[in-house]
Amino acid sequence: GENVEQHPSTLSVQEGDSAVIKCTYSDSASNYFPWYKQELGKGPQLIIDIRSNVGEKKDQRIAVTLNKTAKHFSLHITETQPEDSAVYFCAAKHNFNKFYFGSGTKLNVKP
């Protein structure tokens, strides 16, 4: 089955700086890669996703890049704000198969 590894497990940045979270996957058939944000006391919420036919996708201050050859994808958050503090999860799946999640990155944005 698929194996998704996520790094780092914790990340602390100053407000206004950029944050990058990286994930690798093992199954070259995986073709959908979502990122979830989980705020304290809440469930994960989809913030951005990318499919394997695209190399990069942006939505305001967040972007995701995908390198299919190396089997890794990354979440980029620019101009970080305190409200970006949360746990971020990456995931991978192939078509209608189940999602495989990374172990999460706790992002702390210091004001």
| Shorter beta-carbon distance to another protein: residue 3 or 81 | 3
Smallest separation (angstroms) from another protein to the CB of 9? 6
Peptide bond into 8 cis (omega under 30): yes
| Shorter beta-carbon distance to another protein: residue 40 or 70 | 40
Smallest separation (angstroms) from another protein to the CB of 39? 10
| Shorter beta-carbon distance to another protein: residue 19 or 90 | 90
Smallest separation (angstroms) from another protein to the CB of 44? 5
Angle at Cα 36 formed by Cα 100 and Cα 107, nearest 5°? 115
* Of 39, 101, 34, 25, residue with least CA distance to 68: 25
The Cα–Cα gap between 14 and 38 comes to 20
